[in-house]
């Protein structure tokens, strides 16, 4: 009887470990797919020029319209 109880406990522990590894596998798979999709989106944005437009628009050099005012804005935003 004691041996059966030990066997039941061992099987219960093993089932929990298998369930945990399945959850861990699912989380890693979801994280990997998210990274792959994000890299694809960045690649697409770089290929069609969206990334370049966003970078130029965010650059402090594009803030001024030239002259002293543009230079002052460039220095202030740096």
How do the domains of the chain map onto residue ranges?
Answer: 1-47, 49-78
Is residue 73's pLDDT more than 60?
A: yes
Q: State the pLDDT at residue 68.
A: 77
pTM: 0.53
Output Rg (C-alpha) for the chain, integer angstroms: 28
Helices (H), 48-63: 50-58
Is residue 2's pLDDT more than 80?
A: no
User: pLDDT tens for residues 22-70?
Assistant: 899 999 999 999 999 999 999 999 999 998 888 887 776 665 566 777 7
């Amino acid at each position: 009887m004691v041996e059966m109880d030990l066997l039941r406990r061992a099987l219960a522990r093993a089932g929990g470990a298998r369930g945990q590894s399945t959850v861990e596998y699912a989380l890693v798979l979801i994280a990997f797919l998210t990274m792959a999709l994000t890299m694809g989106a960045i690649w697409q944005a770089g290929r069609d020029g969206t990334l370049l437009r966003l970078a130029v628009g965010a650059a402090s050099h594009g803030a001024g319209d030239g002259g002293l005012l543009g230079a002052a804005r460039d220095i202030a935003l740096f």
